A and B are shown apart, each in its own frame.
Chain A
Amino acid sequence: MKIKHSLFSRRTFLNSLLGGWLAAVASSLLYPILKFIIPPYREPDEVELVKSEYEDLEPNSTKNFMWGSKPGILKRNSDGTFSAFVGVCTHLDCNVSYLPEQRKFYCACHDGWYDESGNNISGPPPRPLRQLGISIGDETIKILKSGQVNNEKV
């Protein structure tokens, strides 16, 4: 089917070609720029703790360690085993604390409560505390990213 007049003018065609190619170049430049300005999320695969510093932890008490740039909480449970959590509230990222008398984790920012296993029980937190794996060696306690727990009474 032959049409009498062109659907668009030569000027429009040229402008579209130019603009289109410029847009392609611009978006190809966008990728490296975005990769540069948005820092990658870095998390350690494991953190090694010196066992002697954590051996004397009383049952039902906690001690902090650094999990990358976040606070980690190592808790000695009542039965003598260890639990490790990322001590960051799942609501809006405030640092949580453990209250031994009540056997609960508490977030002061918005009154969030977790039980001693890290499950969210009251207040705004939507999820339980993130639990980390533990591997107890002779000299070290390794905190692992995955949830695998190799936990013995020490």
Chain B
Amino acid sequence: MKTVLIGVLILLSAGLLITGKVHAQQEIDLETRNEAKTVVHPGPQDIVEKVGIYVFLAWVWISIVVLIYFLRLKVKEADRLYELKYYDSFKKESDQQK
């Protein structure tokens, strides 16, 4: 099941990337045909910005890995508490309160 979902995600990402490239190519073709002022090129303009973006992306991915590690610990804790029926005591409390 996991593999199916991952496979679907990969296919979709590939599809999106292909469409993205096709679009970009369309834009460039349009421009060369019109010979007009160049298309606005988004993106980091100088080397400072480029390095900044890559550093930021690295920080984001490292944070994601670290946060997932912490979240997995929390998931294990929550699952363990559920098995121990820790939450049931609160359910009983709230049922009694009603």
Contact = CB atoms under 8 A, between A and B. Distances in A.
The answer to A–B direct touch (Cβ < 8 A) is yes
A18 B63 contact: no
B82 interface: no
Interface in A73-131: none
Question: Which of under 10, 10 to 19, 20 to 34, or 35 or more describes the interface residues of B?
Answer: 10 to 19
A24 interface: yes
A18 B77 contact: no
Interface string B12-33: 0000000000000000000000
A112 B41 CA distance: 49
B86 to A, nearest CB: 11
A11 interface: yes
Contacts of B63: 21, 24-25
Interface string B67-86: 10011011001000000000
A21 B59 contact: no
B66 interface: yes
A19 to B, nearest CB: 9
A129 B43 CA distance: 42
Contacts, number: 22
A77 to B, nearest CB: 45
A14 B70 contact: yes
A14 B67 contact: no
Contacts of B71: 18
Contact of B67 (A11, A25, A28): A25
A21 B70 contact: yes
Interface string A1-26: 00000000001001101100110110
Contacts of A18: 67, 70-71, 74
B59 A14 contact: no
Contact of A14 (B56, B66, B74): B74
Interface of B: 56, 59-60, 63, 66-67, 70-71, 73-74, 77
22 contacts: A11-B77, A14-B70, A14-B73, A14-B74, A14-B77, A15-B74, A17-B70, A18-B67, A18-B70, A18-B71, A18-B74, A21-B63, A21-B66, A21-B67, A21-B70, A22-B67, A24-B63, A25-B60, A25-B63, A25-B67, A28-B56, A28-B59
Interface of A: 11, 14-15, 17-18, 21-22, 24-25, 28
